[in-house]
Chains A and B, each alone.
Chain A
Amino acid sequence: MTQAPSETEAVVLTTGTPDRRRRDDGRWAWALIAPTLLILAIVIGYPIVQAVRLAFQADEQLDPATGFFEEGGFAGGSNFVHWLMQDCGGGAGSCPPGTLGSEFWSAIGVTFFFTIVTVTLEVALGFWFATIMGKNLWGRSVIRASVLVPWAIPTAVTAKLWYFMFADNGIVNSVLGQQIPWMTGVWESRFAVIVADVWKTTPFVALLILAGLQMIPKDVYEAARMDGASRWQQFTRITLPLVRPALMVAILFRVLDALRMYDLPAIMQGASGGSPTTTMSILVTADMRQGNFNSASALSTLVFLVIFLVAFVMVKFLGANAVDQTRAGARPATKEKTS
């Protein structure tokens, strides 16, 4: 309230007290963002700090004399060693099959496998859908709406639907006329999860790519046609470079999402770990269910670091691209609107 007059005052007396004015502005700015910072500190900062703090505490120990659980105390880095080295108390690699500790690296492998396969398929299919949705076809709005239906269905429902379809007596086996163990086979069950995820998420990718496609001015294509560019040349020389920022955002979103994948495999194949579709997030919750909140905190810190690292690499990669494009003379307006 007092700032508006002081602004004029400052302009008038600007030669007198420049430092003081800057200091007042700084304080005012701090005061304005303080509530946001406070909320962020409570909602984001506190849980992260707490998770890291818990990760360095030991899980509760059973007192053999009384049969009751007692506080675990400080654990140092042993929770992290437990996961990274698969150490269940007998040195590296001592976690036998049937413990969550033995599943750490396989869960990481499964998560990255799902991420790479699903994102690749979703981007390829999404691009195709986006081109169709962008065409001036008859009934375009119907096509757009129907493509988006899978995205509008809650993931839990999607998972159940595909679970029934891939069941032993489900429609997939009936149509194929075979008895394929979609729910128990190692690769069959992974395939089932990938199909369900691609079915659900392709529309989302298509929508983001469509937004990017619509940013490309039509006159560029007209000019290209005048110059005699083929369809393929138009695609590789105009569409791809200009849609790239939107595409990169879509890929980044999807990769980060896929690395956190939980609900689809958990509902389709079970969340107790030990299945061929156990992802990192499933492992975290399975560990919490066993009451090991501290080692679960260590695991979720590790998962956080993995995802952070991937995001960091990708943003760096994206950033580099944006710089290249500006230098190459691409329209900065396009880039800003889509990113």
Chain B
Amino acid sequence: MMRSTKRIAVLALVAAVALTGCAGRSASDVDTTARGPITMAMGSNDAGKLAPVIEAWNAAHPDETVTMFELPKDADPARDTLVQSLQARSGDYDVMALDVVWTGEFAAHRWILPLEGDLAIDTSGLLPATVDSATYRETLYAAPMNTNAQLLFYRTDLVPTAPATWQDLLASCPTARAADVDCLDLQLKSYEGITVQATQAINSWGGSAVGPDGLTPTVTTPQATAAIQAVTDAYADGDIAGRSSGFTEEETNLAFLAGETMYAYNWPYMFDTAKTEPTSTVGDDFAVAPIVGPDGVGASTLGGYNNAINAYSEYPATARDFVAFVQNEDNQRAFADQSFPPVLASVYDDPELVAQYPYLPVLKDALEHAQPRPVTPFYSGVSKAIQDNAYAAITGARPVDQALADMQAAMTAAAS
């Protein structure tokens, strides 16, 4: 009898520890003036770019040092790490570098603090689209750190000037055929890359993926239909290379560097790889331009990081000062030096930097036309709805109208 009673007691104790282990304070009782040493979490692939920033901060603030915690390199495992920590209400990562598309979800879970009151930051010098990407239901939830926009890379040995519109681009495709190279390479593999391509086509044709509330899908509008139809037609005609349906950014990069394509859409990092990689055969025979839409410059889709403050952080005031510090002119200039496109508009006009990085003015132009992906708390479901159906439409598995109706329905289902 004694033994079994004890056993039950031990079991109960274990169960109690397991159940209460994750209890913590709620987001409402945050002291927004507390200061002290903090930790920043960021994907290991880009964390190195912040090392000099953190060094400078720590030298000036010995009592409020920042420590870098490196998350996994890939987006999904990095997000999983943060989500698990936040579900356990842990304040371990005071500042989190969020992929732009995570902002809505983290805000809707009350995992990050709104940047208002004591925590407000000055956003006046920032590129407007980057501020939009960090805004959920009209409240700013994160401080944009860096940004990114896709550019049109073109071979100057084949086409002297960049096409101004989508029609111009398609009209020059016979040149590519004569040279026996692809005309245009895109990322159309069924993953986040095709979401980027589909949303930037829809935005470039004057449509939008979701309405102003960030939830209602708007992909069956005439503009959206025209956009996806244009991409589908170009893919069917071979103007967009057939193999693009298996391409990520990396395959696009390899194909462009190998001189296998006349045009490619990709992030600005390809400018560096094309200039510096020993395998690059394009050398200086290429240039960049903004991506194109039916009437001119297209609306590129934004990438980059937004710095958010953990709702369970012990020292939000330090965290707020640090995310503002990252946005100052010196640090943003240092980012431009590392092909980490800054969010501070003035940096793009710096003549010294422009001389060094000739793509900066083009990038600024692209960023001024850019649109964030939907800031929705259901981003992964919404993105999947766009991915699967855009892939089906572009590869011809389903008619465009049908695929867009399915996309609309799937986006609605994802947000319920």
Are A and B bound to each other? yes
Binding site for B on A (CB under 8 A): 27, 30-31, 34, 38, 41-42, 46, 62, 67-69, 88-89, 94-101, 168-169, 179, 181, 183-184, 270-275, 286, 289-291
Report Cα–Cα, A98/B414, bound state, in Å. 9
- Number of CB contacts from chain A to chain B under 8 A: 111
User: A290: which of B191, B251, B381, B392 is its contact (CB, 8 Å)?
Assistant: B381
Indicate if B409 sits at the interface (CB-CB under 8 A): yes
Q: Least Cβ distance of A269 to chain B in Å? A: 9
- Contact of B246 with A168 in the complex, beta carbons under 8 Å: yes
Report Cα–Cα, A169/B243, bound state, in Å. 11
- Contact of B10 with A99 in the complex, beta carbons under 8 Å: no
Of all chain A residues, which has the CB nearest B410? A98
**Which A-B residue pairs are the 3 nearest by beta carbons?**
A98-B410, A96-B409, A98-B385
- Contact of B246 with A181 in the complex, beta carbons under 8 Å: yes
- Contact of A97 with B377 in the complex, beta carbons under 8 Å: no
Report Cα–Cα, A98/B76, bound state, in Å. 19
Contacts of B378 in A (CB 8 A): 62, 290-291
Report Cα–Cα, A85/B83, bound state, in Å. 30
User: B108: which of A69, A168, A169, A275 is its contact (CB, 8 Å)?
Assistant: A69
User: A291: which of B380, B391, B392 is its contact (CB, 8 Å)?
Assistant: B380
- Beyond A98-B409, A286-B384, 10 extra complex contacts between A and B, CB < 8 Å: A34-B3, A41-B11, A67-B108, A67-B137, A98-B410, A184-B245, A274-B190, A274-B391, A290-B384, A291-B105
For this complex, 30 residue pairs linking A to B, each with C-beta atoms less than 8 Å apart, are A30-B4, A38-B11, A41-B11, A46-B15, A67-B107, A67-B108, A67-B136, A67-B137, A67-B377, A68-B109, A68-B110, A96-B409, A97-B410, A98-B388, A99-B381, A99-B385, A100-B384, A168-B251, A181-B245, A183-B246, A184-B246, A272-B191, A274-B190, A274-B384, A274-B387, A274-B388, A286-B384, A289-B80, A289-B380, A290-B381
Of all chain A residues, which has the CB nearest B83? A291
Main secondary structure of the interface of A (DSSP, over half): loop
- Contact of A275 with B410 in the complex, beta carbons under 8 Å: no
User: A38: which of B7, B18, B398 is its contact (CB, 8 Å)?
Assistant: B7
Main secondary structure of the interface of B (DSSP, over half): helix
Indicate if B22 sits at the interface (CB-CB under 8 A): no
Indicate if B14 sits at the interface (CB-CB under 8 A): yes
Q: Least Cβ distance of B182 to chain A in Å? A: 12
User: A289: which of B76, B245, B251, B414 is its contact (CB, 8 Å)?
Assistant: B76
Indicate if B406 sits at the interface (CB-CB under 8 A): yes
- Contact of B7 with A34 in the complex, beta carbons under 8 Å: yes
Contacts of A272 in B (CB 8 A): 190-191, 384, 387
- Contact of A97 with B245 in the complex, beta carbons under 8 Å: no
Report Cα–Cα, A225/B137, bound state, in Å. 84
Of all chain A residues, which has the CB nearest B3? A31
